[in-house]
Chain A
Amino acid sequence: MNSNKPSTIDLVNRNLQKRYRAEKRFQIFGIASIGFGLLCLLVLFTDIVSKGAGAFTSHYIQLTVNLDPDDLDITDITDESQLALADYQGVVRKALRDKFPDVKKRGDRRKLYGLVSNSAGFRLQEILKNDPEKLGEQLTLWVLADDDIDTYAKSKNDAEPFTGRLNDKQIGWVNTLLDSGEMQSRFNRVLFTSGDSREPEMAGIRGALLGSLYTLLVTLVLSFPIGVAAAVYLEEYAPKNKFTDFIEVNINNLAAVPSIIYGLLGLAIFINFFGMPRSIPLVGGLVLTLMTLPTIIISSRAAIKSVPPSIRQAALGLGASKMQVILHHVLPLAMPGMLTGAIIGMAQALGETAPLLMIGMVAFIVDIPQSIMDPATVLPVQIYLWSDSPERAFTERTSGAIIVLLAFLILMNTIAVLLRRRLERRW
């Protein structure tokens, strides 16, 4: 025997440590990858929440306003044009001057007026419109602070408070008001009750939320029946031939077509060819229907496929026709799976932005839409619009809107998961 030549087991043993180290390294790579993914998720969520939490509160300033008819320039309260043109800003300004009687210089006074949002005037107009009796009375009310003031007050205790265009005097006034309790942080109702605005403190997501709701309604009403019908045809009726294959390939490809292409389709067909108006939820819903249809067809087919053939055979054996088998047995059993697919499709549609930009749902719309034919925008597009605005208060509101959007998506997906768990049957 030649003792110089190493045996196989020696060779193996010599490399073993190295191979084990490689094994460890490989596992660590795996864990690191997953860790990276989860870390991104965590960073994304904390970033959004930390930026957006402030959007749900807003600072209000207490003012004692004197609704003096002379100051307002109202002689006849029943005259609507007088009511519309009255000098509400003047009254608000007077209230501010009364609060800070020491401020005398014109420039300073202008700065002082900047503490309060323009919405204060509209608020007074509303009050008088609803209750003309209030004319001549003295009211104590909480009005919205200006967005810069609000942002400063929120970041006051941070390491680097936001000062923006504010000067030291204004900051001093804000601090006085905060100390005396005449300026307080409250729940930001405006965010949920008003439409878009150029002024951050007056901007809300109600219009966008309703726009999203109408758009999704159109999408659901169209895509669910068509999707289910197509799935039933393909699973139960379609003969195995070239044409059926063609439809199947089509559906699979459509599921992977970029969403912006659907926007181009909507622009060319619905708006330019059929002459439908731009920016309305109806067209948005049509575009999103075409986009979510493949998702719904694919998941409905899976649900129908999971119903065992024995059910069909039993029903056929009892004399049911094909349509009766489908309507009375297959569809009810497949319904949970189809609904899950539909909810997931709707969640996709709710988060979609790009195709809606193409059909003009990106306009600046203050009015809250009342029907599927009114110009509207949707929540993701509102986020896109606000994210372009330079004001810091808009960044905060953008994050706030994102939180609302994510909350809806989480809700929808949770419902889908629960539905699946609750109703899923093992055959």
Chain B
Amino acid sequence: MVGAKGKALRSRDHARVADIVLNTSRADQVEVAVETADIYLTRFANSEIHQNTGEHTTEVVVRSVFGQKVGVASTTSLDRGAVEETVRRAEDIAKLQPENPGFPGLPGPAEYGAADGYCEETAACSPEQRAAGVAEICGLAVKNGLVASGSFSTAAREAMVANSRGLLAEMRFTRANLLTVAMSTTGSGYGEQFSVCVGDIDPRQVAEEAVEGCLADAEPGDVEPGEYEAIFEEYAVADMIQMLAYMGLGALAFQEGRSFMSGNIGQKITGGNITIWDDGLDPAGVPLPFDVEGVPKQKVVLIEGGVARGVVYDSYTAAREGKQSTGHAISPLPSAGPFAVNLFMAGGDSSLEEMIAATKRGIYVKRLHYTNPVHPVKSLLTGMTRDGTFLVENGRIVRPVKNLRFTESILGALGSAELVSRETKLLPLYSLGGVRAPAVKVKRFTFTGVTEY
């Protein structure tokens, strides 16, 4: 068992459910995963709170195995009857299936590294505390004649995985996230902070970043689409890394030839100053010691000095290559494939100021919007810039410009990365994980369209 600072945490509810499942199962192997979550979110727009929610949820997922036949069933009830019924259902489903020759069996017991991803202050954060943070942001926006929108969320989760081979893993973790968009009639600015601990989040800083950005973004002008030098803040780079993970840093896409990593391990695929890895135990991220199968998370170097080094694995994909899972399963079924959710990109030795000073004519991008893959093997992505796009000329920001659409190979663009910032920023990745990213200046980036604002 693992948890905050190695302390044993096993929830009595979770232990009871595990006992029910393990003792009533008639399958060759059985696995049970239980998660309990308390999630709060205060949402604001037009400088007022318009949605404010709290949820208490539970989920029990049972995976039953007969030979290589696998059935999965889940319930949100912790009642004995419901749990037993879920076990029966998983068994019935498994029995009706043909064998899945790719199923490697459930993982065995393991040792877990220390991963402190829990903060009592976050778990105890009240609606009044979140409202006070929102009030600070809205107050500064209104004072500057702007409108603030955003959300302030805090979440505490406990999760356990146990199986009939003796695996038992338990963790608890917290997340806190505050983000805001400040808007005028013509421009917008953005600020966001994310941490395990809500005490690390400073609403004033978030507000100032968004308000200052919005005031600088007043009355953006036109610029022709085309190829430019480009500077991307950490928000934009984190989005790119997240999309790389989605398009091809998992073993399933890699094995099926759908990934930009397929056939390229050991090959240079992007700039020599680009190093990306996944590490579920690094406290500089949002630690998660194991995956949904209870397999300990391994550090996986994905791209090192621009060279493709490896991808992340779950049990299914690892067995296909005779490897061990790296602890990156996100589902007890193989269809989803493994996913890197604790991503890091190495910082460099530059700063945003130095990047601007080094730019002859380029575009400065605060963040990206609605990015989506166009061609995963080419790492081709489309999306928009948002909440602060500026023209840089002769080493200084000269004016805000209207949002631009891009259609570009991300690895190709990062292949022309000239400068990488020392500073990195931690941002959320989907609902569980995080990505720590630097700012980057690239020599070439293709903007393919404009909009009217």
Q: Do A and B bind each other?
A: no
